[in-house]
């Protein structure tokens, strides 16, 4: 549920006066005061394809037929234009079906939803091209199919707009991270561990706050772990639930150090982004084979691969964030936030830092990226620039991030958006967020977080 207001006071949530160096052009005139009340459904299917997150909030399974097709396509990196075309439409219908299932399950009147923000399924992210390559991003899940099947306006494919103005197209969640976590005096990090691990560092407001955020992709998150689990169980287990397998094994530190010392990406200075093209199943299998050739058990292998993820996160802080000792809080989200082996390692390695679950903010840690794409969909239909991390390749504002597929309520939606801030050519960037009806059920987060209270 998105409730957006434009204050008549310069002390309100959005700053209407003055110039901003981060993510917004100069905005001198006061727009018309008014409010915007939209119901927005955010969808996210992560790199691992372990489920479709729907925020308002639920997680729905990815149909096995589609998952098998896409994962096979990504492993082989060989496909036909015909297959790509069909998968794009199939994924569009998959997301539309997820919306129908979500509304039916929770008794949500579909006609009450004004807007859909769907990240889609990342197929390839060439964010750091080599000589002769073209920077690009390829996300499937056709927005026009989603809009036609549901009747709701859909905003999709956010990455290409970022790349078009000279950024890498990922991570894309600094806006929600900063709005949720900025604090008057505390340095905070939002650490996401999905298929890929990424972080956003938010200085205290007294040192720049949301205008001084930095972010980047750390490297492997759950991707290698999930591949190893599928390998050892012939696909019966898709991930290491509660870190149970890893907890039974012994880490081979030599393999961990060799991987982290030798991998070009983890040692590359930010800004940087990555995905399956660097840390996919083929690379995961090389690690599994290396462990087995050395005589490691399946549990030792999972423990070792898990340590690669955890140790690399600490390495990223220490190598690329000079003020890492100033960090007060790390808020965890993504599937890896439920892995006690990862969280415990972070706590041991960063003893002065409070390791917390993002759930504490009132937004479920599992749903953060879906919420983020709901927020970005709102920014798109408003034509409002999002905050840009200051370590980005360029701070050029990108007014419309995402492709809009009009639904049946398109004219009404545009009328509401046009009336919001009427008379202003450029809407100032959002700087604060209020969470109404905060989420309170921690959905079984590991006991390891108890220490942070």
Q: Which domains does the chain have, with CATH numbers?
A: 2-170+367-419 (3.30.420.40), 174-365 (3.30.420.40)
d(C-alpha 197, C-alpha 315), whole Å:
12
- For 401-450, the pLDDT digits (tens) are 899 999 999 999 999 998 888 877 788 888 888 887 777 665 668 888 86
Contacts of 72 (CB under 8 A, 6+ apart): none
| Residue 52: predicted pLDDT | 62
184 C-beta neighbours (distance < 10 Å), count = 8
Average pLDDT for residues 11-36, to the nearest whole number?
37
| Residue 166: predicted pLDDT | 83
Backbone phi, psi, residue 339, to 5°: -100, 105
Rg of the chain, C-alpha, whole Å: 21
| Residue 431: predicted pLDDT | 86
| Residue 441: predicted pLDDT | 65
Question: Long-range pairs for 313-316 at CB < 8 Å and ≥24 separation?
Answer: 313/191, 313/193, 313/197, 313/199, 313/218, 313/342, 313/346, 314/345, 314/346, 314/349, 314/350, 315/260, 315/266, 316/199, 316/216, 316/218, 316/219, 316/266
Contacts of 286 (CB under 8 A, 6+ apart): none
Band the pLDDT of 180: cuts 50, 70, 90.
very high
Question: Which residue has better confidence, 136 or 257?
Answer: 257
Positive or negative: CA dihedral 259, 264, 267, 272: negative
Map tokens 């407001």 to a residue. Answer: 205
Which has the closest alpha carbon to 123: 78, 187, 188? 78
d(C-alpha 428, C-alpha 13), whole Å:
10
Longest CA span, the chain: 69
Helix axes 368-382, 410-419, angle to 10 degrees: 80
d(C-alpha 131, C-alpha 162), whole Å:
21
| Residue 329: predicted pLDDT | 97
d(C-alpha 260, C-alpha 262), whole Å:
6
- For 296-312, the pLDDT digits (tens) are 999 999 999 999 999 99
Burial of 57 (0-12, 13-18, 19+ CB in 10 A): middle
pLDDT of residue 12 exceeding 50, the answer is: no
pTM: 0.85
Which has the closest alpha carbon to 313: 221, 239, 242, 228? 221
CA angle 213, 445, 272 (to 5 degrees): 30
Which residues is 118 bridged to in the sheet?
43, 156
| Residue 415: predicted pLDDT | 93
pLDDT of residue 230 exceeding 70, the answer is: yes
d(C-alpha 51, C-alpha 45), whole Å:
6
d(C-alpha 13, C-alpha 149), whole Å:
36
Contacts of 426 (CB under 8 A, 6+ apart): 24, 25, 26, 27, 385
| Residue 29: predicted pLDDT | 31
Average pLDDT over the chain reads 85
pLDDT of residue 110 exceeding 90, the answer is: yes
Which has the closest alpha carbon to 110: 171, 64, 174, 154? 154
């Amino acid at each position: 549920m998105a409730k957006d207001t434009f204050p008549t006071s310069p002390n309100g949530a959005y700053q209407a006066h003055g110039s901003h160096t981060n993510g917004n052009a100069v905005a001198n005139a006061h727009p018309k005061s008014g409010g915007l009340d939209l119901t927005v459904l955010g969808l996210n299917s992560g790199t691992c394809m372990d489920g479709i997150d729907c925020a308002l909030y639920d997680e729905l399974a990815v149909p096995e037929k589609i998952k098998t097709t896409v994962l096979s396509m990504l492993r082989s990196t060989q496909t036909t234009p015909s297959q790509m075309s069909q998968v794009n439409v199939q994924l569009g219908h998959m997301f539309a079906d997820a919306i129908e299932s979500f509304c039916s399950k929770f008794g949500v009147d579909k006609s009450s939803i004004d807007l859909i923000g769907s990240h889609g399924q990342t197929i390839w992210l060439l964010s750091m091209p080599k000589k002769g390559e073209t920077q690009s991003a390829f996300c499937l899940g056709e927005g026009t199919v989603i809009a036609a099947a549901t009747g709701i306006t859909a905003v999709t494919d956010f990455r290409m707009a970022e790349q078009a103005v000279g950024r890498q197209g990922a991570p894309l969640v600094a806006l929600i991270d900063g709005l949720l976590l900025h604090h008057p005096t505390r340095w905070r990090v939002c650490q996401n561990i999905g298929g890929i691990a990424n972080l956003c560092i938010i200085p205290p407001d007294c040192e720049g706050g949301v205008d001084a955020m930095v972010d980047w992709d750390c490297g492997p998150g759950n991707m290698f772990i999930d591949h190893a689990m599928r390998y050892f169980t012939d696909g019966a287990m898709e991930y290491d639930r509660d870190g149970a397998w890893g907890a039974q094994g012994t880490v081979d530190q030599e393999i961990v150090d060799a991987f982290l010392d030798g991998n070009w990406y983890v040692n590359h200075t930010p800004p940087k982004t990555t995905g399956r093209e660097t840390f996919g199943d083929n690379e995961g299998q090389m690690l599994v084979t290396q462990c087995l050739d050395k005589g490691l058990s399946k549990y030792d292998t999972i423990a070792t691969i898990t340590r690669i993820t955890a140790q690399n996160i600490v390495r990223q802080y220490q190598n690329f964030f000079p003020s890492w000792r100033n960090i007060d809080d790390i808020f965890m989200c993504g599937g890896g936030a439920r892995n006690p082996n990862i969280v415990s390692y972070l706590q041991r390695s960063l003893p002065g830092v409070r390791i917390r679950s993002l759930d504490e903010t009132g937004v479920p840690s599992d749903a953060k990226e879906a919420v983020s794409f709901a927020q970005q969909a709102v920014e798109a239909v408003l034509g409002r620039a999002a905050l840009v991390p200051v370590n980005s390749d360029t701070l050029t504002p990108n007014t419309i991030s995402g492709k809009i597929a009009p639904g049946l309520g398109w004219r009404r939606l545009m009328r509401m958006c046009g009336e919001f801030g009427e008379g202003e050519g450029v809407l100032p960037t959002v700087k604060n967020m209020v969470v109404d009806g905060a989420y309170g059920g921690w959905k079984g987060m590991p006991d390891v977080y108890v220490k942070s209270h």
